[in-house]
Amino acid sequence: MSTSEKDNRLVRELSDEKYRYGFTTDVHTDIIDRGLDEDTVRLISSRKGEPGWLLDFRLKAYRHWLEMPMPQWAHLDIPPIDYQNISYYADPTVKKKEGPKSTDEIDPQVMKTFDKLGIPLEERLALSGGVAVDAVMDSVSVKTTFKQTLAEKGIIFCSIGEAVKNHPDLVREYLGSVVSYRDNFFAALNSAVFSDGSFVYIPKGVRCPMELSTYFRINAQGTGQFERTLIVADDDSYVSYLEGCTAPMRDENQLHAAIVEIVVLDRAQVKYSTVQNWYPGDENGRGGVYNFVTKRGLLRGVDSRLSWTQVETGSAITWKYPSCVLQGDGSQGEFYSVALTNNWQQADTGTKMIHIGKNTRSTVISKGISAGHSQNSYRGLISVGRNATGARNYSQCDSLLLGSDCGAHTFPYMDVRNETAVVEHEATTSKISEDQLFYCNQRGIPMEQAIGLIVNGYAKDVLNRLPMEFAVEAQRLLSVSLENTVG
Amino acid sequence: MSETNYSEIFIANRSLIDAGSSPVMSALRDRAYDCYTRYGLPGTKVEEYLHTDIGAWFGPDWGVNLKRVALPVNPSEAFRCNVPNLSTQMHFMAGDSYLKKDGQPSLPDGVLCGSLLELSESNPDIVSRYLGTLADMEKPGIAALNTMFMQDGFMVYVPRNVQIEKPVQLVSLMTDAVPMLACRRILVVLEQGASLKLLLCDHSSAGSQCMSMTVTECFVADNASLEIYDLEETSDRNTRVMECYVSQQRDSRVMIQNLSLHNGKTRNSVFSCFKGPGASFEVNGIAITDGQQHVDNFTFVDHEATDCESRELFKYVLDGQSTGSFAGKVLVRHGAQRTVSQQTNRNICLTADSRMWTQPQLEIYADDVKCSHGATVGQLDEKALFYMQQRGIPMKEARMLLMLAFLGEVIDRIPLDSLRARLLGLVELRLRHGQSRCEGCGVCK
Amino acid sequence: MEMLKIENLHAEIAGKEILKGINLQIEAGTVHAIMGPNGSGKSTLSNVLSGHPAYTVTEGKVTFKGKDLLALPVENRSHEGLFMSFQYPVEIPGVSMTNFMRTAINEKRRYLGQEPMSPTDFLKLMKQKRDLVKLDAKFMNRSVNEGFSGGEKKRNEIFQMAVLEPSLSILDETDSGLDIDALRIVAEGVNSLKTPETSALVITHYQRLLDYIKPDVVHVLYAGRIIRTAGPELALELEERGYDWLIREFEEKNS
């Protein structure tokens, strides 16, 4: 048997392990009727008890969305999506025929769900070191932990719905200031129908004492999830934010179209980490989440910093480009990504680094791993504006191919209009080294583990950027995803 | 709309076009017209033309020499391009017409070399077997338009196992005083084991506002070897659009160098495809621009067969308000195992007003591959500049040396000593004086 | 005869003052050594003298062979006879040694109002000077410093020094990264170029190089100032006792 045949066999064997988050929770969920029109937008807004300005924002976005075509430029084969056959709001916290719900009373089933996912919603059970969690199921935040502890430092950490009620001025000032509803098709859609994501505000000079995280769970059938997250780091502040996500195994494709906006002011620093593990579909490409996400940070302040780290193993289709607008002089943006696709998954992901301020710096490290019949693309833009004197960028994009039926693609764009800029891009694509595999085998490491080892080593530069708990989870995910793919 | 204009001109003048051409060429025009009406000229909405609006370039009311009026050029006086030991035979084109050849007719038996119009009349079998079979008209581009209007051009056919040692040189010149669009077609056929070096010199006399549209098709059979050096030394007012298609069979070798030394607006597209295993393809280029000049190089390398290797190196030096664009795509198809591909684009922006876009791309569907690309935009190395100044070399000279070294990496890949030295000299001249004027050519002075 | 005179030289880089009032005088035919702990400003001094654009002189005066050195552009300082041997010689890909040296020589000749050197004389000169530092002929076809080993780079510096025949050579940490044999070859090269009309300023952290290139005067640089000047015996004393005692004395005196 040739090595490649062996690889392919391994890939197949590995794909047999089941997605361990694929269960569903039986909880009473209030789901609005499928379909999307202005009334749907009004209904969502009234369910959330929103002020008039926010409804106006949603309606403007909706009307704009109607005029936009679905983007076709990605290296993705996206089946037609029937936007009228999706329910845009599902609330699992509404009790049957009961009066107003109390936030302290969470359905035990919901509680159990997050327990099962390894996300403790009771503060006493929190992981060592302390991670505050905002747990979102379908369209609604079910609980946010450590709110009090954080509030003592002036930090606001809550669902965006709650923030609209309690901190309307902050939300109004920043919502849509980084990603306009006109930005793209999915951003317009999200702006019209968005539901809970998290809101974070770190006041001037405050270093957030614990990691903040949001865990997104899709549970209800026939629904889409449209979370919206807004993080504002005021002058001289610091926060590390984590995001995780899973969904049940279903034959249907579920749509997830999120927006994350981050505003970083003078000398503030934000680290944003994602471990994306939406249901990827089965080994025949049936089901799975469509993950169409707009994430962007505006580095408004001088010497501000934003670092994106993502480990993407889930979703049937991923369309996602966490970006940095480097506006403040001396601001720095980073993007570290591992994207693994297996079976029939498709990913088109990367970043945009928009250099506007002077002496801005950006670093891009992307590691793609393709297996099975999957297609994995890196797409990036480095743009250096007229006034971005002294801008520096370094990008490195590597692709690893496991098996002969997958694809790995690289589409970097560079646009330089300042003569003092230095922009460098390097990319390599290769298959997993037979020498390395042989070396491992010779030392008694079986093929499957050897591939896992090598892939984890390959992704190490990125995995090392994650907070510890996440790094461990990410490593495990890579191995499991690869177990069914190759590694 | 210019597109409509060309359709109308074509319909109205069809018989005139055919009359000034050969049946072999005319046989391709119906399909070309059909493709042109479907795909048209590319605008900036087309991904491959984001930074170069070809459609707009065709906008002015260019005249097309459909009546085959002889252009008033005396090549014997006009051209004195004598690179030592370079060529035994020089061929000349003025505008879109093949003029004549100069020098000893010492090409081996069986070689066909000269006017495409004449050869397609004298050897219709050979020409019809190849002409129009490679240029892709089923996409926005100039292949269809070129095929609609082509009436003459240049052709080289090299039979089996014939090696032409000294380069064949084709000098094309635009001198017309009226704005004119020259439609040129080049056909290169190398049979098994044949070899050819082709030097294409593209000139235009300063002051003439002209546009050239050239489509080249190269067929390289098993074990054959082709080198093409395409040198542009035109003027600020010149517009050039070139599409070159290459098809390579087993174990063949092709090298193409696109050297944009002086130009107005230029778009060079090279499409190459490996049809058989074990072949190698190399495409390199340099661009030196200033003023309002624009150079866009696009390459597409299609690895259809196994065990092939492709290399690319493009370097730009941008001065003044000039703009440059490079996009290179490497496609490795399913099953094209043991592919090796390397692509590099390096650029230096000398002024705040110059601008560079670069977009290397890899699209890979096979796993046993070694592919890489790299792109940089930057400036001359300041440490090196200081070091050289400390040794007494003035700043201006130090910059010159670094720019020459930078571009020299491309020229160094030319295997032929005499040509390499000549081209290095031209590059230096261009860098020193802003304008390069190939002193060998009387017309260029 | 006075070769170099530095008076109250202050210089900064990126707004940070490194040199805080240097006074130094070098006579023709003498070798001066500047020693000092890391970060004392040794390399700044050599960079400022040769005119590195990153440094700004904020105060003071430097006279070189009677001329105002600081008013000259970098290349003219070179033409006037100031040579700096770099601590880290720069690699210049694509520029061959031959082309580099020919340009350097002819620019100097042009500055001095002389005709360019004939190719024959040039080749002869190259061979003669190469032999001096035992640099193989093949180096002439290679790009400047590219792929040279540490020792080869330093020998190349001395080779260029021999070719350009400077009046004042600044050797900036020339000994760093050299083994004993390479060190000896380099030192021999430097010594053989010594004449009653030329001077050298040897910048070094260690005494080692001074075993081979004998200084007439030794200066200790600390915190941007010269804190001690003495004869060659000072170098030996520093080798034995280190810099701390000198620094203490200096600080006590200042406080």
Q: Is the predicted pLDDT of residue A294 greater than 90, yes or no?
A: yes
Q: Kindly report the backbone phi and psi dihedral angles of residue A447, in degrees, each rounded to the nearest multiple of 5, phi listed first.
A: -50, -50
Owning domain of residue A369: 3-483
Which residue range forms the structural domain that includes residue B59?
A: 2-444
CA nearest neighbour of A89 among A40, A160, A28:
A40
Q: What is the pLDDT of residue B177?
A: 67
Predicted confidence at residue A455, as pLDDT, reads 86
Q: Judge: A431–B369 Cβ closer than 8 Å, yes or no.
A: yes
DSSP C116: P
So where are chain C's domains? 2-254
Half-sphere exposure of C105 (CA within 13 A, CB side): 22
Q: B351 and A419: CB-CB below 8 Å?
A: yes
- CB spacing of C75 vs B381 below 8 angstroms: no
Do chains B and C meet with 3 or more Cβ pairs nearer than 8 Å?
Answer: yes
At A357 the pLDDT is: 97
| pLDDT tens-place string over residues A141-190 | 888 889 889 999 999 999 999 999 999 999 999 999 999 999 999 999 99
- Quote the CA–CA distance of B96 and B90 in Å, as a whole number: 17
Take residue B157 and report the two structure tokens written for it.
Answer: 């056919």
**Per the structure block, which two tokens stand in for B310?**
């492709």
Cβ separation C51–B389 shorter than 8 A: yes
Please indicate whether, in this complex, the C-beta atoms of A414 and B365 are within 8 angstroms of each other. no
- Give the nearest chain B residue to C96 (CA atoms): B405
Q: Read off the pTM.
A: 0.84
Lowest mean pLDDT among B177-186, C104-113, C117-126: B177-186
C 154-213: CB under 8 A from B: 160, 164
Mean pLDDT of A123-130: 63
Residues of B in CB contact (< 8 Å) with A are: 47, 334-335, 337, 347, 349-352, 354-379
Please give the average per-residue pLDDT across A262-284, as a whole number. Answer: 94
Closest partner residue to B350 among A73, A419, A425, by Cβ?
A: A419
In whole numbers, what is the pLDDT of chain A averaged over residues? Answer: 87
CB contacts of A403 in chain B (<8 Å) are: 367
Query: Which residues in chain C are closer than 8 Å to B424, comparing Cβ atoms?
Result: none
Residues of A in contact with B358 (CB under 8 A): 413-414, 416
| pLDDT at position A398 | 93
pLDDT confidence of residue A9:
46
Subunits with at least 3 CB pairs below 8 A relative to chain C? B
Nearest to A378 by CA among A337, A342, A345, A406: A337
Distance CA A388, CA A422 (A): 11
pLDDT tens digits along A37-92: 999 999 999 999 999 999 999 999 999 999 999 988 899 999 999 999 999 999 88
The partner residue sitting opposite C103, judged by closest CB among B382, B395, B397, is B397
Test C89 with B387 for CB contact under 8 angstroms: yes
A415-435, pLDDT tens digit by residue? 998 889 999 998 999 888 877
What's the pLDDT tens digit per position in A299-353? Answer: 999 999 999 999 999 999 999 999 999 999 999 999 999 999 999 999 999 999 9
Contact B405 C107 (CB under 8 A): no
Residue contact A429–B47, C-beta within 8 A: no
Partners of A380 in beta bridges: A351, A412
Question: Which tokens belong to C81?
Answer: 């006879």
C-beta atoms of B401 and C95 within 8 A: yes
Nearest Cβ partner for B386 among C53, C95, C107? C53
Q: Is C86 on the interface with B (CB under 8 A)?
A: yes
Residues 6 or more apart from C76 whose CB is under 8 A from it? C111
- Residue among A86, A11, A6 nearest A344 (CA): A11
**Closest to A420 (Cβ–Cβ): which among B364, B369, B379?**
B379
Burial category of A98 from C-beta neighbours within 10 Å (exposed 0-12, middle 13-18, buried 19 and up)? exposed
Residues from chain B that touch A418, judged by Cβ atoms under 8 A, are: 349, 352
Quick one: pLDDT at residue A484? 52
Q: Touch between chain A and chain B (3+ CB pairs, < 8 Å)?
A: yes
For chain C, positions 106-145, list CB contacts with chain B under 8 A: 107-108, 111, 143-144
Find the residue in B nearest to A400 (Cα): B367
- Residues 6 or more apart whose CB falls under 8 angstroms from that of A150 comprise A132, A156, A157, A208, A209, A210, A212
- Beta partners for residue A296, in sequence order: A261, A323
- Those residues of chain B that have pLDDT short of 50 are 1, 436, 438, 440-445
Question: Cβ contacts (< 8 Å) between B354 and chain A: which residues?
Answer: 419
Nearest-CA distance C41 → chain B (Å)? 19
Determine contact: B434 vs chain C, CB below 8 A.
no
Q: Give percent of chain C above pLDDT 70.
A: 100
Residues within 8 A of C (CB atoms), B 327-386 only: 381-384, 386
CA distances from B84 to A118, B113, B198, B422, C91 (A): 78, 21, 16, 9, 34
- Mean pLDDT for A382-397 is 94
C-interface mutation test, from B315, B379, B389, most C Cβ less than 10 A away? B389
CB contact under 8 A, B377 and A422: yes
Say if the Cβ atoms of A422 and B379 lie within 8 Å: yes
Contact C94 B408 (CB under 8 A): yes
- ipTM computed for the complex: 0.82
Query: Bridge partners of B195?
Result: B163, B225
- Count how many domains chain A has: 1
Q: Point out the least confidently predicted range of A452-456, A462-466, B232-236.
A: A452-456
pLDDT at B308: 97
* Ramachandran category for residue A330: left, alpha or beta (phi over 0 → left; psi -120 to 50 → alpha): left
CB contact under 8 A, C94 and B389: no
Check CB contact of C74 with chain B, cutoff 8 Å. yes
Rounded Cα gap, residues B79 and B100, in angstroms: 12
The CATH topology of domain C2-254 is: Rossmann fold (3.40.50)
Measured between CB atoms, which of B334, B361, B377 is closest to A410? B361
Give the Cα separation of A326 and A307 in Å (integer).
Answer: 12
Ranges A396-400, C181-185, C223-227: which has the least confidence: C181-185
Helices A38-47/A185-193 angle, 10° precision:
50
8 Å CB contact of A424 and B376: yes
Average pLDDT over residues A395-418: 91
Cβ of B367 within 8 Å of Cβ of A422? The answer is no
pLDDT tens across C69-108, in order? 999 999 899 999 999 998 888 888 888 899 889 889 998 9
CB distance from A75 to chain B under 8 Å?
yes
- How many distinct structural domains can be found in chain B? 1
**How far apart are the CA of B71 and the nearest CA of chain A, in angstroms?**
42
The mean pLDDT value for C179-208 works out to: 86
Which of these, A151, A399, A374, A393, lies nearest to A281 by C-alpha position?
A: A374
Tell me, yes or no, if A405 comes closer than 8 A to chain B by beta carbon: yes
Half-sphere exposure of residue A407: CA atoms within 13 angstroms, side-chain side: 23
The CA-based dihedral angle spanning residues A41, A45, A51, A52, taken in that order and rounded to the nearest 10 degrees: 20
CA distance C64 to B155: 68
Best mean pLDDT range from A16-30, A442-456, B45-59: B45-59
- Spatial neighbors of A137 by CB under 8 A, at least 6 apart, are A25, A92, A93, A110, A113, A217, A219
Taking an 8 Å cut-off on Cβ atoms, the answer to whether C103 and B393 are in contact is yes
Question: What confidence score (pLDDT) does residue B299 get?
Answer: 97
pLDDT at residue A382, rounded to an integer = 94
Closest residue, chain A, to B351 (C-alpha)? A419
DSSP-derived secondary structure letter, A221: T
Instruction: Please check the confidence at residue A452 and state whether its pLDDT lies above 60.
Output: yes
pLDDT of B81 reads 54
